[in-house]
Amino acid sequence: MITKGKKKEILQDISERFAKSKSMVFLGFQGVTVKDSMELRRALKKEGVDYKVAKKTLIKKGLESANVKGSENFSLEGPVGVAIGNEDEIAPARIAKEFGKKNDKLQILGGVMDFQFIGAEEMKQIASLPSKDQLRGQLVGTINAPVSGFVNVLAGNVRSLLNVLTAISEEKK
């Protein structure tokens, strides 16, 4: 049994974490082994994502104190963990989805983005989005493509000219 003082401490901690977060994903982990749970925590921590397990009533109060719209819709079954993204908004959902492929007991139950409650299906769609680093790489590739093409065209003309001059010099020999 948790004392009132401990509950207040937990509530204050999760309220602060929720208020600072960019996104949250609620995970159902009933049936997940301790070993798998630790593996999930390591994967989340590696990406800068916090993971917190607390009573659902404390999570709901934390959502209300962080002014999350739609928190009245928070009514999840079974034990719930919260993956809290502080840097990359997509990372908690993406990691949970990847981990869920290996361990079918882990479920995405919903989440929060921009202080708005989101259902499980929308959160799964968000999990399919690429990470910020992948998007940056795609942007650089897209910006670089016309420049690379232009350089290849110019190099092609120079190569063609060089081939013609080489052929002329070989004919004269």
Predicted pLDDT of residue 166: 86
pLDDT at 150: 74
Rg (CA), the chain: 26
Residues 48-69: tens digit of each pLDDT: 899 988 888 888 888 888 888 8
| pLDDT, position 82 | 92
Task: Specify whether the CB–CB gap between 71 and 64 falls below 8 A.
Answer: yes
Phi and psi angles of residue 47, each rounded to the nearest 5 degrees, phi first: -95, 10
pLDDT, averaged across the chain = 85
Residue ranges, the chain, pLDDT below 70: 73-74
pLDDT given for residue 89 in this prediction? 87
Pick the CATH number of 4-129 from 3.40.50.300, 3.90.1170.50, 3.40.190.10, 3.30.70.1730: 3.30.70.1730
